[in-house]
């Protein structure tokens, strides 16, 4: 199989620019086979009956789990995850509740992966991650948060791969919630990519106490979650902390407008095939962009050693 080596006008791209182009291409051409988080609407649940003083609990099906497994060895303990009819749509949503189990704080939790109780080191009980091989641009859904005391919640998704000896992070989308949020509120967390590697695993995590892994939090803190999914919006495919609002595409005039306060040395226009179709030295803040075909292109504007990127859609 030939190795893809992006180039600009026949010159090899730097490693940094190669990553931008590879991420751009993966985000655009990967749309046909976009993977989603299974059962992200939390409509399907599996029941785990208890016995005697060990309580019943439920968990979402299709790769989701929580710390609920511990209550089948901790008599009288309450679930850290529940099914709820307080939802955005459908019939159900997920409700994470921080509890006290074995005398310690147990954060309400929901994550993709498996729970394997490790009484010797409870922090190692969570085996996070399910198979996944795509490059989404954002992690989206809806939540409500009712903290107790000074607690905070966290929600995040991590894309990673196994390199033969260790797990390597490729991208992460993360947020912390510090304030009470009593009404259903949408979230949209952009993935920040660290490399152009293809992931093999996604770990999605929700916790009603962000410090739960260290047994910190406040009993009763509650995080509701519903309609979790992944976005593959090509207009935001480059999430490498270089895109800034000082570069704006005007589709009506086919011009790239840059802030007069920044000095652009030259602009490269890259197709989804990785070919540079234009390299322009701008003479004014409004630079006409001419491309051979309609489609999606990656703009790389060079300001000294900084690269400002923009994904544009050309239709004529």
> Do 184 and 144 touch, CB atoms closer than 8 A?
yes
Residue matched to tokens 């704080």: 105
Q: Rounded to an integer, what distance in angstroms lies between the CA atom of residue 238 and that of residue 298?
A: 9
Q: What is the pLDDT, as a whole number, of residue 239?
A: 41
Render pLDDT for 16-73 as a digit per residue (tens, 0 to 9). 555 555 555 555 544 445 889 999 999 999 998 887 888 888 999 888 988 887 766 7
| Digit-coded pLDDT (tens) for 238-278 | 444 444 446 777 877 888 888 777 788 888 787 755 667 78
The tokens for 171 are 């991208």
Place of tokens 């590697």: 197
CA distances from 179 to 1, 147, 154, 182, 227 (A): 51, 8, 12, 9, 21
214-242 residue pLDDT tens? 778 999 999 999 999 999 876 544 444 44
Contacts of 165 (CB under 8 A, 6+ apart): none
Tell how strand 266-270 and strand 130-131 pair up.
unpaired
* Greatest mean pLDDT among 85-94, 110-119, 157-166, 247-256: 85-94
What tokens does 269 get? 């226009």
Nearest to 225 by CA among 36, 99, 60: 60
- Angle, CA of 51, 55 and 60, to the nearest 5°: 115
d(CA 36, CA 31): 11
Q: Are 244 and 259 in contact (CB under 8 A)?
A: no
Q: Name residues whose C-beta falls within 8 Å of residue 44's C-beta, 6 or more positions apart in sequence.
A: 60, 61, 62
Token pair listed for 76: 């009288």
Nearby residues of 51 by Cβ (< 8 Å), 6 or more positions away: none
User: Which domains, ranges and CATH numbers included, belong to the chain?
Assistant: 7-33+236-314 (2.60.40.3080), 45-231 (2.60.120.890)
Its pTM stands at 0.64
């Amino acid at each position: 199989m030939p190795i893809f080596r992006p180039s600009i006008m026949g010159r090899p791209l730097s490693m940094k620019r190669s990553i931008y182009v590879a991420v751009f291409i993966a985000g655009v051409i990967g749309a046909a086979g976009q993977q989603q988080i299974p059962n992200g609407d939390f409509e399907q649940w599996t029941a785990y009956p208890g016995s005697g003083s060990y309580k019943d609990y439920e968990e979402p099906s299709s790769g989701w789990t929580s710390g609920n497994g511990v209550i089948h060895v901790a008599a009288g303990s309450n679930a850290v995850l529940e099914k709820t009819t307080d939802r955005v749509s459908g019939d159900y949503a997920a409700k994470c509740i921080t509890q006290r189990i074995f005398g310690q704080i147990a954060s309400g939790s929901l994550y993709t992966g498996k729970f394997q109780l490790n009484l010797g080191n409870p922090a190692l009980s969570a085996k996070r991650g399910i198979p996944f091989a795509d490059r989404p641009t954002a992690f989206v859904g809806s939540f409500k948060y009712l903290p107790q005391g000074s607690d905070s919640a966290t929600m995040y998704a991590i894309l990673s791969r196994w390199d033969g000896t260790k797990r390597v992070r490729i991208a992460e989308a993360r947020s912390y919630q510090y304030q009470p949020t009593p009404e259903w509120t949408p979230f949209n967390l952009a993935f920040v990519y660290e490399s152009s590697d293809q992931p093999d695993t996604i770990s999605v995590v929700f916790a009603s106490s962000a410090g739960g892994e260290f047994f910190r939090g406040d009993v009763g803190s509650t995080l509701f979650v519903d309609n979790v999914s992944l976005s593959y919006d090509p207009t935001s495919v480059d999430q490498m902390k270089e895109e800034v609002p000082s570069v704006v595409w005007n589709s009506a005039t086919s011009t790239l407008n840059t802030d007069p306060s920044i000095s652009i040395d030259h602009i490269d226009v890259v197709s989804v095939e990785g070919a540079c179709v234009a390299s322009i030295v701008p003479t004014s803040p409004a630079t006409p962009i001419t491309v051979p075909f309609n489609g999606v292109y990656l703009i790389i504007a060079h300001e000294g050693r900084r690269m400002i990127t923009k994904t544009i859609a050309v239709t004529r």
